[in-house]
């Protein structure tokens, strides 16, 4: 039994794909997955999505409304696809922070951005989405692409994203979601649980990590549930747009 003086205790267990694990263990388990796949992450993204992930990300960038001089936080930014595009858009007087909890992913992203000649308006920060090391009301735009499903406490992370946004600032969440068509859903399941682990085994010698990724997608909240979570975190004018039949959805919310 809880009351205002004794807040509700944190749950002792959570999910890691289809497995039930201790809450405090999930972060390290997810880290192991991305340490394993970091070097081949971009190659696998192109193979798994047949290159369509680039279209999904371009749509998110367009919907962000990022302008010259803006401050942008790209959470779980990994190898820096969104970060690179935002860096060009905000110009020399803007700022883009690439944040990721995983050191291996950040290293790959930092090297890739340096090789592509990204301007000096970029900072790379190792950070946990649940405890963002940034001040209140700081960013014009926050994005998280294909990262929220790996966060242990999604509500806490969404609250942190709300905190660091300026009033009027925008959050964009690009994530795998639930296909709307039953036939598409069945085909997608077959592809996810048969083809993805096989690709992982052939390209990265790691089938288990891609089995986890397929499972993590199925455990992620559907479109309407995530919309409700964003509203609960304080966002206004929350909407979502299904991409590729709902295999992916882009959610957008504004800090009032």
User: What number of residues does the chain have?
Assistant: 256
- Please check if 129 is assigned to a binding site: yes
Given a contact cutoff of 8 angstroms between Cβ atoms, the answer to whether 253 and 170 are in contact is yes
Query: How far, in Å, CA of 202 to CA of 12, rounded?
Result: 36
Side-chain half-sphere of 51: how many Cα atoms within 13 Å?
0
In Å, how far are 45, 83, 251 from 78, measured between CA atoms?
Answer: 12, 9, 19
Side-chain half-sphere of 69: how many Cα atoms within 13 Å?
0
- For 247, residues 6+ apart whose C-beta sits below 8 A from its C-beta are 176, 177, 179, 184, 188
Q: Which of 89, 169, 88 minimizes the C-alpha distance to 134?
A: 169
- Please check if 128 is assigned to a binding site: yes
Given a contact cutoff of 8 angstroms between Cβ atoms, the answer to whether 96 and 87 are in contact is yes
- Please check if 83 is assigned to a binding site: no
- Going by the annotation, the residues of the binding site for S-adenosyl-L-methionine are 79, 100, 128-129
- Going by the annotation, the residues of the binding site are 79, 100, 128-129
């Amino acid at each position: 039994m809880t009351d205002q003086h004794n807040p509700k205790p944190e749950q002792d267990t959570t999910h890691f794909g289809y497995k039930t694990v201790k809450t405090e263990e999930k972060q390290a388990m997810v880290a192991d997955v991305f340490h394993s796949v970091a070097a081949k992450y971009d190659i696998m993204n192109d193979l798994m999505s047949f290159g369509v992930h680039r279209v999904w990300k371009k749509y998110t960038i367009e919907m962000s409304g990022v302008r010259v001089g803006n401050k942008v936080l790209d959470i779980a930014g990994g190898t820096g696809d969104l970060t690179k595009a935002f860096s060009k858009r905000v110009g020399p007087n803007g700022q883009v922070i690439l944040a990721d909890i995983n050191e291996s992913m950040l290293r790959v992203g930092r090297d890739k951005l340096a090789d592509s000649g990204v301007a000096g308006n970029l900072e790379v920060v190792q950070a946990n989405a649940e405890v963002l090391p940034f001040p209140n009301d700081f960013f014009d735009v926050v994005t998280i692409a294909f990262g929220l499903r790996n966060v242990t406490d999604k509500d806490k992370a969404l609250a942190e994203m709300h905190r660091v946004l300026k009033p009027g600032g925008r959050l964009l969440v690009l994530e795998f979601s639930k296909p709307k068509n039953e036939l598409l859903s069945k085909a997608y399941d077959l592809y996810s649980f048969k083809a993805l682990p096989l690709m992982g085994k052939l390209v990265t010698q790691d089938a288990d990590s891609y089995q986890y990724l397929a499972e993590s997608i199925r455990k992620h909240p559907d479109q309407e549930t995530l919309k409700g979570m964003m509203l609960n975190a304080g966002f206004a004018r929350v909407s979502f747009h299904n991409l590729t039949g709902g295999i992916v959805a882009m959610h957008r919310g504004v800090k009032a």
